[in-house]
Structure 1
Amino acid sequence: MSYSRLTWSIEPKVVGVKDGVGPCYLDKEFYERNPWYTQIFLPVIPAEDWWKPRANMPDYGQALLQIPMEKEACHTDFIDFGGFQHGYIINNRLRELLEGAHLPRHRYLPASFVQGDNEITGYWWLCYDLETGKDRVDFAKSEFAPSRFSSGKHFSISSYSDYMQIIEGTGEAVQATKLCFNSSFDQELDIWGTQFLSGVKGYISDKLLRNFERHNITGYATRRLQCSLLFT
């Protein structure tokens, strides 16, 4: 299976906005309305295992209430935007399409927007388990970029334990430039993402992408991969 990075469209004729960061944003009022989201993604004092809820969001996610939407934004099938750290927001039409796709363990949670004086409903937050690499990545065969914070230091990473020790010791998630997956990785997945490794919350398969195109799904775009994906 071949994959592309799944993200939001920056085409003003499609999404209605011109700044390139997407049709929505998160502000103080959003965080106040959704305190559970703040606790997971913006904790004042991170817990020792702060990353676990992000990797297993179907167990921790709740409804997303009144996400601020730009007044000019269009109500597309697919919605994503800068600063939105997990999953995607989809309407009923796209949810019906995804019911036939092969996804990781996931949930569809209610999502709504506030656009001017109007509340926009009929959307769902698609959240899913992220790949941590613990059981399905061959770290010894993978490649990683130099540290961004330790004067370009190259860390020696040959196992999941090595990788997590760097995160726990330095707070830095070293980015992979090549990820080698072992035979336990499900290569039939149509959407999936990584917890840290590649820094990509969502990949889309070529098969599902063609289905998006056939059904004229609006609001999404794809980007080329900056991290090579190799499957055995």
Structure 2
Amino acid sequence: MHKKITVSSEPKIIGVKNGIMQVELDRKNLLNQDGSHNKFYKYFGSFPYWANQNNKIDFNISVINAKPLKKAKMTDLLAYGPYIMAFKWLISEKFYNILQDFNIGEHTLYEVNIENCEEKYFFLKLKTILRDEFVFNRNVLTVLEKNSFVDYTFLNKIEYDDFILNNPLSEYKHIALKQELEKYDIIYTQGAGDYFSERLIKTFNENGLTGLSIYNNRSIEFV
């Protein structure tokens, strides 16, 4: 089984009260001298990224620098900003070493140099499972209507696509993916959040790693 996860927003765990990020990327990593977005940000951070995620990179990636916010704790799963679409979080070297015993599929690491931090941190790039790859007739979306949440299911893909287009604030309460994806211990999805296998979550906690938060009211199945 897999569970939906995110980076913890608890101040006692992450050290800051903004609930958004613990470190801030140096803007020079993202911008050209004239203030326009550079190739790094255009490739990894812009909206078409998902459609282009299998394209080869035609530019060099220099050192990525970041600075911790005041009072921020350096957890093993780390929230950062400004957000870049391809990278869900920063992960510690300790966490990555643990991942060597798990199936995360093809992936790429990009080291991030965090000021005054001895631990190494990385962006972890994995393939994102696109909405079109979901088993649409097994999905359940929920949306707030008149102060209460209403769940929706779908008979066909046209109905499903139309609902998503007209309800941008809806959330996936349950998603279904193809059976072949169940073997992966980390799953990135487009719009439905990210999932760790229970085995990975158990190992994460047993090794004293920090920064993980679990959604117990969201579910995933493989069919």
TM-score between the two structures when normalised by the length of structure 2: 0.72
Structure 1: which 5+ runs fail to align? Answer: none
2:135 to 138, 157, 162: 138
The alignment status of 1:99 with 2:100, answered yes or no, reads: yes
Secondary structure of 2:103's aligned partner: coil
Letter in structure 2 aligned against 1:36: K
Aligned counterparts of 1:147 and 1:225: Cα–Cα separation in 2: 19
- Which residue is equivalent to 2:109? 108
Structure 2: which 5+ runs fail to align? Answer: none
The alignment status of 1:35 with 2:33, answered yes or no, reads: no
- Which residue is equivalent to 1:15? 14
Superimposed CA distance per residue, residues 115-156 of structure 1 (whole angstroms, 9 cap, x where no aligned partner): xxx576722111101111444x321232334699xxx9x896
Q: 1:163 to 1:128 in 2, by over 3 A?
A: farther
Aligned counterparts of 2:7 and 2:155: Cα–Cα separation in 1: 29
Q: How large is the Cα RMSD of the aligned pairs?
A: 3.8
Query: CA shift at 1:166, angstroms?
Result: 7.7
Letter in structure 2 aligned against 1:7: V
The 8 Å contact of residues 4 and 218 in structure 2, kept in 1 or not, is answered as no
Aligned counterparts of 1:101 and 1:194: Cα–Cα separation in 2: 19
The 8 Å contact of residues 3 and 218 in structure 2, kept in 1 or not, is answered as no
Letter in structure 1 aligned against 2:95: L
The 8 Å contact of residues 23 and 79 in structure 1, kept in 2 or not, is answered as yes
Letter in structure 1 aligned against 2:127: D
- Which residue is equivalent to 2:124? 126
2:184 to 164, 182, 189: 189
Secondary structure of 2:189's aligned partner: coil
The 8 Å contact of residues 58 and 129 in structure 1, kept in 2 or not, is answered as no
Aligned counterparts of 1:78 and 1:214: Cα–Cα separation in 2: 15
Superimposed CA distance per residue, residues 152-173 of structure 1 (whole angstroms, 9 cap, x where no aligned partner): 9x896723x7766887x77959
The 8 Å contact of residues 3 and 205 in structure 1, kept in 2 or not, is answered as yes
The 8 Å contact of residues 106 and 128 in structure 1, kept in 2 or not, is answered as yes
Aligned counterparts of 2:56 and 2:159: Cα–Cα separation in 1: 26
Query: CA shift at 1:90, angstroms?
Result: 1.7
Q: 1:130 to 1:143 in 2, by over 3 A?
A: same
Query: CA shift at 1:224, angstroms?
Result: 1.4
Letter in structure 2 aligned against 1:35: N
TM-score between the two structures when normalised by the length of structure 1: 0.69
Identical counterparts, % of pairs: 17
Secondary structure of 1:66's aligned partner: strand
Superimposed CA distance per residue, residues 87-116 of structure 1 (whole angstroms, 9 cap, x where no aligned partner): 3212222111111111132111111234xx
The alignment status of 1:221 with 2:208, answered yes or no, reads: no
Q: 1:143 to 1:90 in 2, by over 3 A?
A: closer
The answer to which structure has the higher strand fraction is 2
Q: 1:227 to 1:212 in 2, by over 3 A?
A: closer
